[in-house]
Homo-oligomer: A and B are copies of this chain.
């Protein structure tokens, strides 16, 4: 399984993904689910993946080939697309095509080829945008009413986001909320696992402001997790029935 969350805040975009991939409980690996494409000063795009590993790897590979060879690549370059929604369309079309190709080889198991993506970024002169791309390639967009998007094992980590994430939330608080949402998910579901990949894209920076891998022995994250448990228990103690 997987948990990825993206926040579209007034100050920028925060993206956080886990890395656990499993095909059964005795076949567990770590794979990066966060991919970034940048043309500094011009454009910055990040993609997070959930679902079939063969589908997401092939999708990212094709998008990468498109960027490296805009003329003859298998898909148009997302670094040259006219807008972020055009980027979402290219990503969606690629995902849909790959899932369909792999699915056709799998016959009755075709649903296992499906995957879901979160795509966020900004191009020079455009707004920051954040999309959730469905397995068939269609997509929805984060708005001021719904400033966060989640894919994978999303339920455990939703209550904290519902309560604290607003468009005006600061980037620091946004990172904190994403990490605490992930922390709740890690505690409740074994199929979501460390290390984590955190990316922050500040508004109009047109580059990655933060791109950090958080390892299992990361003392800052560990301390935050322990402090949050302690703060929750304290908050719980204050509530009168």
Give chain A's interface residues, CB within 8 Å of chain B. Answer: 155-156, 158-160, 162-164, 172-173, 175-177, 179-180, 184, 187-188, 220, 223-224, 227-229, 231-236, 238-241
Contacts and interface: CB of A to CB of B under 8 A. Distances in A.
B227 A164 contact: no
Given A156-B158, A160-B232, A187-B159, A227 B240 contact: yes
Nearest to A187: B162
B224 A228 contact: no
> This chain: how many copies in the complex?
2
A77 to B, nearest CB: 35
A227 B237 CA distance: 11
Nearest to A227: B239
Contacts of A158: 156, 188
B220 A241 contact: yes
Contact of A239 (B163, B184, B188, B224): B224
User: Which 6 residue pairs spanning A and B have beta carbons closest together?
Assistant: A155-B155, A231-B235, A159-B184, A235-B235, A176-B241, A158-B188
Nearest to A225: B239
Contacts of A240: 223-224, 227
A241 B233 CA distance: 19
Contact of A228 (B188, B231, B239): B239
Contacts of A180: 236, 239
